[in-house]
Structure 1
Amino acid sequence: GYGMLAAQAHFGLLRPPPCDTANDESNCSPAEGGKAAMLYIALYTLALGEGCLRANIPPFGGDQFDENDIEESKQRSSFFNWYTFSISLGGAIGLAGSWPRVGSPCIATNARV
C-alpha cells in the first residue's frame, strides 16, 4: 500500500494534472480510470493491513501466557502495557520525526526572504 502511494506520488503519469487550489475558478480534473483505481487499491490495502495487524497482535501475544500461573499472569499484563506503549511511541516518533525533514527547508526558505 505505501509503495503504491509512493509510486503514484513520484511518477507524473500516475497522478492527475496539477490543480490551482488558490483560484476558485480553476477546473480541477479528478483522478480517473487506472489512476483512481491505483489510489483506492493502495488506500484499501493500507486499511486492511493496519486493521488486521492491530486487531490480531494483542490476542496472539496474550495467548502465549498461562492464565493459571501467577508469574505468567504478571508477564501478560506487562506484555499488554509494553505493547500499547510501543505502538504509541512509534506513532509519536513517526509524527515528530517527519517535522524536521519537512519543516527545515520551509524555515530556511522563509528566513532568506
Structure 2
Amino acid sequence: AAQVFVFLAGFETSSTAMTFCLYELAQNQELQDKARKNVLDVLKEHGSISYEAVHDMKYIEMCINESLRKYPPIANILREVTKDYHVPDMNVTLPKGHRIMLPIYAIHHDPEYYPAPDQYDPERFT
C-alpha cells in the first residue's frame, strides 16, 4: 500500500505540473511557438526522442521550472533544525530540534525574488 501511495503522489504532482505548464503555454501563443520550435529543433538534431534529446530541450525545461515556481506542488515545507543555527543579520537563533516552516508559495510569489511574480515568464530561468 505504501508503494502505491508513493507512485500516486509522484504521478499526481508530475501531472499537475505538466497541466499548469500546458495551460500557460495555451494562454500565450508566442511562448507556445518558442516551446514547439525548441522541440522540433532538438528532434531534427537528434532524430528521435532520447535522454540526450530531452536534456537538450532547454526552453521546455525553463517552461517547466517556471510552472513549478508559479504553481508549486507543495505550498509549505516543514523541517526540523538539526543543529543550533544563528540567522545572519538577525538576533535570532534557531535551536536544535525546533520545527520551522518554509513558505515555498510565498517565496515564489515575492516580487523581491521574482519580479512580476504573477506573470508566467520562462526566461527567468535562462
Normalising by structure 2, we get a TM-score of 0.28
Question: Which structure has greater strand proportion?
Answer: 2
Question: Which entry has the higher C-alpha Rg, 1 or 2?
Answer: 1
Q: Which has the higher contact order (CA 8 A, sep 6+)?
A: 2
Question: Which structure has greater helix proportion?
Answer: 1
Normalising by structure 1, we get a TM-score of 0.30
